Chains A and B, each alone.
Chain A
């Protein structure tokens, strides 16, 4: 059975997904300004615990590899322990535990192969360009969004222009914390 690929993003109402937890951006860490409540935290914990591997681009790798190895707790243990696959032709030797670099240059072919060979759920957080490529070739099975009540007005968006439209099926929706939406979409 092929792996399931789940994209997971923090987005603003205008669809910006850039640097919700830090990094170099006009509003670094903007998602932390909102209270996502206990149920929002629980959603993220359950989601993370359901992952069997992470698939990420280079920038997200650098952000995560710079943060998680120094942290403790349930999230950190999970992120540090599970397999990580990084799509990059320039990363070289990764320091972060259990990381494999997919470096052939043809990202979608490599991910397609990974999807066939890996058993379980592969989550794709952040990873702006990789997500666009995966959506274009229809490798994404599920999209989890946490929508924060703000118009950011600048930055990379979760959904850029694509050649084709994608119809989706909303399978879960709820409000957590202070007006934060949790949305789960699957392929229609």
Chain B
């Protein structure tokens, strides 16, 4: 079974938007290693339309950076009802009422794990559908406090989790890995 593994930079107050405004002071080797580890074993990426548009506008033109070498050729699944003909290489759009079933089929098929980076709307939907296997949070010791989007919005269903692992970095960042409870 292929796992869907989601990853976020997140503040203590739950903000995931615009990490460029609050994340960088906390970046160090420990965090770099954690990010690397989170993507080991993945051979596909899953993302929402918003992230697809950001990345597909940037990475095809920036092949010389290390992440460009990874993200351009890798298989990309995009969850969207509006994106029809993606230009980015090796991209497949998943849409419509059958999206959850299609993902179940992909997970049951051959291949490595499927990584995610951000895409909070998609992650909330995956959790509701019982499709998410791992929720990896790098919790930064800051309350951002401003009107930036949070990972979890009000009026979600209640979802019990289990803590798979936790690690504390020298910077006070927590590396937490959760999965849906059994």
Contact = CB atoms under 8 A, between A and B. Distances in A.
A188 B141 contact: yes
A27 B178 CA distance: 21
B156 A151 contact: yes
Contacts of B22: 165
A181 B163 contact: yes
Interface in B101-156: 127, 141-147, 150-152, 154-156
Contacts of B163: 149, 175, 178-181
A114 interface: no
A62 interface: no
Interface in B148-180: 150-152, 154-163, 166, 168, 172-174, 176, 178
Given A14-B14, A15-B152, A151-B159, A168 B172 contact: yes
B57 to A, nearest CB: 29
Given A151-B156, A153-B156, A185 B161 contact: no
Nearest to A14: B152
B181 A149 contact: yes
A3 interface: no
Contacts of B141: 167-170, 185, 188
Interface in A168-187: 168-170, 173, 175, 178-181, 183, 185
Contacts, number: 101
Contacts of A173: 166, 168, 174
Contacts of A158: 13
A151 B152 contact: yes
Contacts of A170: 141, 168, 172-174
Contacts of A153: 152, 154-159
A27 B172 contact: no
Contacts of B144: 165
A159 B143 contact: yes
Contact of A13 (B146, B155, B157, B178): B178
B156 A135 contact: no
A161 interface: yes
B142 A166 contact: yes
17 contacts: A14-B150, A15-B150, A135-B143, A151-B156, A153-B156, A154-B154, A158-B13, A159-B143, A162-B145, A166-B142, A167-B141, A170-B174, A179-B162, A179-B163, A181-B163, A185-B141, A188-B141
- 5 tightest Cβ-Cβ pairs between the two chains A and B: A179-B163, A153-B156, A170-B172, A159-B13, A14-B152
